[in-house]
Amino acid sequence: MNLKKSDVVPAKKARGRPRDWNDKTDQNTIKSLDRAMSVFEFLSEGQGRSLTNLAKDLKQSPATLYRILITLEVHGLVEFDKINQVWEIGPRAFIIGSRFLRRTSLVDRARPILRRLMETTGETANLGIEQNGHVLFVNQVETNATIRAFFPPGTLSRLHSSGIGKVLLAQMSKPRVDKLLGTKPIERFTEHTLTDRAALHADLALSRARGYAIDGEERNLGMRCIAGPVFDIHGEAIAGISVSGPTSRIDEDKIAELSKAVVAAASELTAAIGGDDIRQPE
């Protein structure tokens, strides 16, 4: 059968995608935007950096970096601390990130669970996820007590010194944990921070076995945190729920009681997002 040219139906191009959709070569990237996003991502990994330090770490000229930072500042993605003369992540970055989180419904579904956890325990309840080797706190319900822990949404904390960070690390393979910890010496914040890798891995194994992790003054003296893991549909730990407060209220005798409430809340959120806790007993 002979087909006329007019009979041939051209293949439809995917809506919203150019013809060279899969071409990720330099010709299809905007170099200035790529450079700006690299600066933005680097700044998010360790906030509070001066222009001089950024230029040194990124091996770029201060003048180029300054133009990038000013552009990002216009959009609220970064901001300049005039007192300390350092650049930090701006509020717009969290707003955009929150829109992504709403897509998963994790934050929305966690809110009432966190409130009930706070009311049950009397301590501040938190929700955090792993983000670029840190814990990113994405939701919190504060206690009404005068002395309280405070991690506003958008706060970043190191994984190894956080209850939520350790409960997430406890569900990961050892190679992945080592990769996230990096090759540099583990940062010490207090005399209780676990900086010895063998001791930290032993603590993570214990956390996995009992189903919750404890930050015992490892980030801030006088503060204790108990965290439980939240799992997705694949049985992977994607978030952690915790209660945090002063050691004067969360003493050794209260850990068993509070840990049950925390683990129950984490399990409730796992079920609420359609997750599955497929952990096997140790």
pLDDT at residue 177, rounded to an integer: 93
60 is written with which tokens? 């770029």
pLDDT surpasses 90 at 214: yes
pLDDT, tens digit (0-9, with 9 covering 90-100), for 181-191? 888 899 999 99
Please give the domain boundaries of the chain with CATH numbers for all domains.
26-89 (1.10.10.10), 95-272 (3.30.450.40)
Instruction: Residue 160: name the closest of 147, 149, 145, 172 by CA.
Output: 172
Strands 78-81 and 156-158, how do they pair?
A: unpaired
pLDDT at residue 279, rounded to an integer: 57
Whether residue 131 contacts residue 138, with contact meaning beta carbons closer than 8 Å, is answered with no
- The most confident of the ranges 15-24, 42-51, 225-234 is 225-234
pLDDT at residue 145, rounded to an integer: 79
pLDDT, tens digit (0-9, with 9 covering 90-100), for 262-282? 999 999 999 988 887 765 444
130 is written with which tokens? 């792993």
Share of the chain above pLDDT 70, in %: 84
Sign of the Cα pseudo-torsion (110, 114, 120, 121, in order):
positive
Tally of residues, the chain? 282
pLDDT surpasses 70 at 144: yes
223-231: strand order across its sheet:
156-158, 134-141, 124-131, 237-246, 223-231, 213-216
pLDDT, tens digit (0-9, with 9 covering 90-100), for 80-138? 988 889 998 888 887 777 666 555 578 889 999 999 999 999 999 999 999 888 899 98
In angstroms, the CA 38 to CA 71 distance is 14
pLDDT at residue 101, rounded to an integer: 58
Sign of the Cα pseudo-torsion (192, 195, 196, 199, in order):
positive
pLDDT at residue 171, rounded to an integer: 95
In angstroms, the CA 225 to CA 246 distance is 9
pLDDT, tens digit (0-9, with 9 covering 90-100), for 11-36? 454 554 555 545 555 555 688 888 88
Amino acid at 226: I
Query: Which pLDDT band, with edges at 50, 70 and 90, does 5 fall under?
Result: very low
Cross-strand partners of 216: 224
Burial class (CB in 10 A: 0-12, 13-18, 19+), 10: exposed
Of 11-25, 168-182, 202-216, the one with minimum mean pLDDT is 11-25
Measuring CA to CA, how many Å separate 94 from each of 10, 106, 129, 139, 153? 43, 15, 13, 12, 8
Give the DSSP per-residue string, the chain.
-PPPGGGPPPPPPPTT--TTTT--SGGGS-HHHHHHHHHHHHHHHS--B-HHHHHHHHT--HHHHHHHHHHHHHTTSEEEETTTTEEEE-HHHHHHHHHHHHHHTHHHHHHHHHHHHHHHHSSEEEEEEEETTEEEEEEEE--SSSS-----TT-EEEGGGSHHHHHHHTTS-HHHHHHHH-SSPPPP-STT---SHHHHHHHHHHHHHHT-EEEESSSSTTEEEEEEEEE-TTS-EEEEEEEEEETTTS-GGGHHHHHHHHHHHHHHHHHHTT----PPP-
